[in-house]
Amino acid sequence: MAEKAAPPDRRPVVTPTRVVAGLCLIAPFIAMLWVSSYARIEPTLIGIPFFYWYQMAWVLISTVLTCVAYKLVQREQRARKDGAA
């Protein structure tokens, strides 16, 4: 029996949605790797130095950005699947 090969035109495509999703995922890495931007004590928040609360804020921000990226890619895949059917 002959197996059907995947058509060559079914390769990954870079779309604006995927670019935005990628930016959502890379933003936390850039923010955390740029240590000189947050390596300070002031301003404090409830007595917590900026260095610590900035990093903890990025934990929450990263969660939101990851959810946004997931939903964007999921919506694009659903639209692509509906368009192909």
pLDDT tens column, 11-51: 668 889 999 999 999 999 999 999 998 888 999 999 999 99
d(CA 25, CA 17): 13
pLDDT tens column, 56-75: 999 999 999 999 999 999 99
> What is the percentage of the chain residues whose pLDDT exceeds 90?
60
User: Which ranges of 16-49 does DSSP label H, i.e. alpha helix?
Assistant: 16-33
The whole-number pLDDT of residue 13 equals 80
The whole-number pLDDT of residue 25 equals 95
Inter-residue contact 9 to 49 (CB < 8 Å): no
Which two three-digit tokens encode residue 75? Answer: 């919506």
Cβ contacts of residue 56 below 8 Å, gap of 6+?
none
Q: What is the pTM of this model?
A: 0.77
pLDDT at 82 over 70: yes
d(CA 45, CA 18): 36
